Amino acid sequence: MSNEEIDKLQKLNRDCLMSVDGFFSTSRRKVIAIDFMKPGIENDNKISVRYDITCDLTLRTKPFADIASEKFGDFSYEQEVLFMVGTIFQFKGMFYDKKSKFWRIKLKLIDEYKHQWFNLYNSIKEEMGEETNLLTLRGLLIRAGDHEHALRVYMRSFIDLIIV
């Protein structure tokens, strides 16, 4: 990573979101990851970094593939994980590990599904004002292309009107 990229990361607020602009692979084994990164080597304006990534394996969307299986080659001992382009992480902080001579950047994989709904909800809330109700939710679902659930919400609001 370049000095400029390190400087940018140091200025980030904790818990802000960031996405990757390319595929990248990592290992669940620290020893393997450190062997690949060649810690302590700083040349051509490049600095060694280690990403400590926390992943919840129960997330609805998993923008990564566990390619540690023997069916993917002779390198199953690496316990490699491949992350997709556009994967969104929450920045949890960073520090320089003086002993190992590399930067450690802590990231947490976020539930992109929840993040998508949160952004859509906030967008609609801004347009419609502070009041949110079932119609707001229906609008949110329509914008997300989830017409089946939008119809269910509409029917629910219609039934609520009849009962009242």
Q: Could you report the per-residue pLDDT of 30-59, keeping only the tens digit for each?
A: 888 888 776 555 566 788 888 899 988 777
Tell me the average pLDDT across 66-75. Answer: 63
| CA–CA dist 24, 141 (Å, integer) | 32
Which 8-state DSSP code applies to residue 2? B
Helical residues (DSSP H) of the chain, grouped into ranges: 3-10, 30-37, 112-128, 134-143, 147-163
Regarding whether 119 and 48 lie in a shared domain, the answer is: no
Regarding whether 66 and 22 lie in a shared domain, the answer is: yes
| CA–CA dist 140, 136 (Å, integer) | 6
Say if CB 15 and CB 90 are below 8 A apart: yes
pLDDT tens track for 124-155: 566 666 555 666 667 777 777 777 777 876 77
**Sequence letter at residue 64:** F
Cα angle 133, 139, 144 (rounded to 5 degrees) comes to: 130
Regarding whether 64 and 34 lie in a shared domain, the answer is: yes
Regarding whether 73 and 105 lie in a shared domain, the answer is: yes
